[in-house]
Amino acid sequence: MNTPVISATGLWTPPNSISNKELVDSYNTWADNWNREWAADISAGLVEPKTHSSVEFIEKASGIKSRYVIDKAGILDPDIMAPRIAERPNEQISVLAEIAVNAARDALERAGRKPEDVDAVLCAASNMQRAYPAMAVEIQDALGCGGFAFDMNVACSSATFGIQTAADFIRSGSAKSVLVVNPEICSGHLNFTDRDSHFIFGDVATAVLVEEENIAPVGHWKILGTKLKTQFSNNIRNNFGFLNRAAPEGIDAPDKLFVQEGRKVFKEVVPMVATMISAQMDELGIAKDGLRRMWLHQANANMNRLISSKVLGREATDEESPTVLDTYANTSSAGSIIAFHKNSGDFKAGERGLICSFGAGYSAGTVFVEKTA
């Protein structure tokens, strides 16, 4: 059986960043305008007034301080409160494919690969720009890769599910080099007029090149083991879809964007993920002190703190559980890959770490890796 490894990762970061203060100022202006418009109904007790957001509230609730976005102007305009990304003609590369290509080229360059060396492309992300043709096939074409390509969506766990799928292709001999791309334009599904969630997401694209060990570059990462888990829950949901037009009464309703029951998610996901990680460490014979670093899903600093403490039996240091959430916010499936990409260069041969995702579904994925010489 062939042995899959991670040869390289890639990252593309949008040029625009929004601070918490900028986001709060925009939201509070919108809320004030809304309250004025609905003043009569508020006075009559028919609707509740919109309350202000604050920088302190956001940082305490999430650990987020800023986020990168494709479009900044529309999000911060109190009369729009959404990104404005122009629709492109079919003859031009779509925006989701374009950012995926940028991340993919970064990964290929780091691995010393040409696009034609790649046998398969998987676009693993929480939202696809269209139903068909598959985003992955457009990305494959734009890069100039051969073989086959397809899309997959497991929300925040798309990247780790994609890595295991790629690894399985390597093991079976179906491919020698598989490119997993994670283009996440999360600002597109975020309700910027919802105080409880308007700060959560950012935009980014990442890529992971999974290859057969005997062709991998020096300094690659052995995949020691992967595990995937799903458990149905409505606590994180987005009901946007192709059947919305068949029920026009629901078009533009709040549930056609990201909605969640945050406290329930925290309570249910933390023990599920911590137990899953610990169980696989036992299966792989990895002791607590044998795991140098955990690159966890970047959704909430408090969740990561609790998960890492349950796994290690103590609070993890910043080095053991690095954070990119503070500057990138929640980038769905890309978060743990950004953390790995930015915080793995100091590993020595033989040191081990964990890439871990969790989120809507519920879904969770673990990828234990070991650095090679």
Helix H or strand E segment including 272:
helix 262-284
Give the whole-angstrom CA distance, residue 169 versus residue 213.
13
Give the whole-angstrom CA distance, residue 49 versus residue 31.
8
Give the whole-angstrom CA distance, residue 226 versus residue 259.
29
Q: How many residues does the chain have?
A: 373
Helix H or strand E segment including 273:
helix 262-284
Q: Is 244 helix (H, G, I), strand (E, B) or coil?
A: helix
Beta strands in 130-214 (DSSP E): 148-152, 177-185, 203-212
Give the whole-angstrom CA distance, residue 105 versus residue 10.
7
Q: Judge if the upstream peptide bond of residue 115 is cis by omega within 30 degrees of 0.
A: no
* DSSP-assigned beta bridge partners for residue 353: 293, 369
Question: Any catalytic annotation for residue 123?
Answer: no
Strand 177-185 with 203-212, pairing: antiparallel
Query: What is the SS3 assignment for 34-83?
Result: HHHHCHHHHHCCCCCCCCCCCHHHHHHHHCCCEEEECCCHHHHCCCCCCC
Catalytic pick from 145, 156, 186, 356? 156
> Other C-beta atoms within 10 Å of 34: how many?
16
Q: Which two tokens mark 64?
A: 């987020």
* DSSP-assigned beta bridge partners for residue 293: 353
Asked if residues 301 and 330 have their Cβ atoms less than 8 Å apart, the reply is no
Q: Which two tokens mark 180?
A: 């997993």
Give the whole-angstrom CA distance, residue 347 versus residue 285.
20
Looking at the annotation, which residues are catalytic?
Answer: 156
